Homo-oligomer: A and B are copies of this chain.
Amino acid sequence: MELSATAYVILGMVSWRPMSGYDIKQTVDGSTRFFWAASYSQIYAELHRLEQAGLLAAEPQPTGGRRRNLHRLTDDGRRALREWLEREPETFEMRDEALLKLFFASASPESARTTLEAKRRHHRALAERLEGMQRAGKASGYAAIVLGYGVECQRWMESWCERALAELPTGGGDPASDEVAA
């Protein structure tokens, strides 16, 4: 049974406590989102698939007229989660539009500085947000380790931008001719 990594995010979240799709989305947005995001469409689709596969069990818990399905892990689900944890991680991807703009900056050299400044601001803002989560003591155990990674990583990126900015030639010039040999 091949599952997407997002399916395992759901299994992992539900391993803490039974959750609705909405709960899962909120928790992902407040935690794994910075290294693994998930959208509603993905979450609800996976939830149905995982129930079909017997890894999750849903029990309807309507509050008055409002629908709500609480999903909990089955024994098979817990086993699948554990097996996934013990496999080698595969996916590591970055998508950084600022780096892309810097890469092509020779087509508009004045843009290099503003792009780097925007990237620095972005990392600083995210670092501060994550530090707020640290101070709020929202994460413990492994989650706290990963949160620490997030903070330090954003701070490293922020400081790289500062260094790069300092080394950038001032006149909006091109730091030696550009391009990558094919």
Contacts and interface: CB of A to CB of B under 8 A. Distances in A.
Interface of A: 5, 8-9, 12, 15-16, 23, 26-27, 30-32, 34-37, 78, 81-82, 84-86, 88-108, 110-112, 114-115, 118-119, 122, 138-146, 149, 152-153, 156-157, 160, 164, 174-182
Contact of A178 (B142, B175, B179): B142
A141 B88 contact: no
Given A9-B100, A88-B114, A92-B98, 13 more contacts: A12-B107, A30-B180, A36-B95, A36-B96, A37-B93, A85-B108, A89-B97, A93-B96, A94-B94, A102-B145, A141-B178, A144-B175, A149-B160
Specify how many copies of this chain sit in the oligomer. Answer: 2
Ranked nearest first, the 4 interchain pairs of A and B with the lowest CB-CB distance are A141-B178, A12-B104, A89-B98, A89-B97
A106 B35 contact: no
A100 to B, nearest CB: 5
Given A23-B182, A160-B153, A177 B106 contact: no
Nearest to A110: B86
B34 A94 contact: yes
B27 A143 contact: no
A142 B103 contact: yes
